[in-house]
Amino acid sequence: MGDVTAEVTDLLRHLIRNACVNDGARDSGHEVRSADVLASYLDGAGLDMERYEPAPGRTSLVARMEGRRPDAPTLLLMGHTDVVPVSPDRWRRDPFGAELVDGEVWGRGAIDMLNLTASMAVAVRRLAESGFRPDGTLIYLAVADEEALGTWGADHLTAHEPDAVRADYVITESGGIPVTGGDGALRLPVMVAEKGTCWMTLRVEGTPGHASQPYRTDNALVTAAEVVRRLSEHRPETRIHDTWRRFLAGMGLPDELTAPLLDPDRLIDSLADLPVSMARQFHACTHTTLAPTVARGGVKTNVIPDRVDLEVDVRTLPGQTFDDVRSLLDRALGDLADRVSIVEAHDDPSTASPVETPLWDTLGRVSRRFYDGSHLVPMLSVGATDARFFRRVGATAYGFGLFSRKLSFEDYGRMFHGDDERVDVESLRLSTELWTAVTQDLLAP
């Protein structure tokens, strides 16, 4: 067998060049190209492979190594093959060129998450070729449509092909970026839960009229501007939840730093002193967030607008329901609440997996082989991943990976859906070896 680093680097570059850009439209993505590349890469290793294509071109690939004991646990390694669009003129290199420069692979998806999709495939193929026959079943899933709503990928598979993807344990993005704890030892965050997504369209109505006489008119755009201002200035209450408490406890920070972050009355003020990316993250972890993102309204320069639609991205905490979002909106809007109607809402509640599990123990044990003295810390992901579909059907799903020390937590966060996305080849090797070791630890006799 050749060199692992070269093999995973080469596969990642293929996936980047395929440019499976998902803009949310049904006819985007074209993940079939990467399903093809992965299927031919895995072919001949003795895995059972199956493709699923609920819409043309939206192909997911399942490769399976059947365990010897039906009562042993099943592990599913899941990587998505789609990527989000780019603004190419803001990049220093071709976002789909997959150039290898000074030990880094550049391109859309290098971090989110073709790096892991590639390293999982390499680990699975090498395990199969080595003759590894586990007690439990190993499934590799290269899934389409993660970057929209999972409609043609994980949502479809968990709902309509449950036998193909049923698993006790699922690992997907993101996590595993090494950060130094308060005591100097390394911490590796594991995404054990994620916030809910509630996307809504709010409508503000007014009364049309001639814009040459605006005095005392009922202008929907002017009302909408005030609605936007109130939404963005509203301060939802601080909620200290279990994952947050465990995260802070696990970071080994001094008490004077931790205490205000655990106090709902002091948390907001203490964020002011933190670097902005950390403050944003900590804020999102402990609050429902409201972000007005799209406004549509008005028909002509000389017409007083009678309708404005506002899209708002609301992210909910564990346990929150759509009714909670509704009353939050009412509080934020105050006396304007009855001027605003919800015309559309897509509510996808928060999900969580338990922390005390055999998978947790495996990840901790195995990670210490790569990072001596490291500890796992549970974390709430503020964005949504395909893990949510698997948690809802009963699997324990974590976001994890392993990265080199070259990548800082800040850079990592910035490159998600950002410009100049790239990953170092050492991180690719580390995550490949991680998947191999995790599989052996969890599934071997």
Q: Which one-letter amino acid corresponds to residue 390?
A: F
Q: Which is nearer to Zn ion, 108 or 339 (CB)?
A: 108
Shortest distance, position 15 Cβ to Zn ion, whole Å = 13
Shortest distance, position 22 Cβ to Zn ion, whole Å = 10
Shortest distance, position 40 Cβ to Zn ion, whole Å = 24
Judge if the upstream peptide bond of residue 174 is cis by omega within 30 degrees of 0. Answer: yes
Q: By rule CB under 5 A, what string of x and - marks binding of each residue 100-119 to Zn ion?
A: ------------xx------
For the chain, state the CA radius of gyration: 23
Q: By rule CB under 5 A, what string of x and - marks binding of each residue 353-392 to Zn ion?
A: ----------------------------------------
Where are the alpha helices (H) located in 71-168, listed in sequence order?
A: 114-129, 154-160, 162-165
CA 319 to chain centre: 19
Q: Which is nearer to Zn ion, 113 or 314 (CB)?
A: 113
Q: Which is nearer to Zn ion, 308 or 398 (CB)?
A: 398
Q: By rule CB under 5 A, what string of x and - marks binding of each residue 50-69 to Zn ion?
A: --------------------
Beta carbons of 338 and 223 less than 8 angstroms apart: no
What residues between 153 and 182 interact with Zn ion by CB under 5 A? 173
Shortest distance, position 112 Cβ to Zn ion, whole Å = 4
Smallest CA-to-CA distance from 113 within 193, 22, 24, 32 is with 22
Shortest distance, position 146 Cβ to Zn ion, whole Å = 5
Asked if residue 194 binds Zn ion (CB under 5 A), the reply is no
Smallest CA-to-CA distance from 13 within 119, 121, 98, 109 is with 98
Q: Which is nearer to Zn ion, 113 or 267 (CB)?
A: 113
Beta carbons of 167 and 386 less than 8 angstroms apart: no
| Helix or strand run (H / E) with residue 332 | helix 322-333
And the tokens for 130?
A: 């080595």
Number of residues that bind Zn ion (CB under 5 A): 3
Q: Which is nearer to Zn ion, 79 or 318 (CB)?
A: 79
Alpha-carbon torsion angle 436, 440, 443, 444, nearest 10? 150
Shortest distance, position 91 Cβ to Zn ion, whole Å = 18
Q: What are phi and psi of 147, to 5 degrees?
A: -80, -10
Q: Which is nearer to Zn ion, 104 or 173 (CB)?
A: 173
Contact residues: Zn ion, CB under 5 A: 112-113, 173
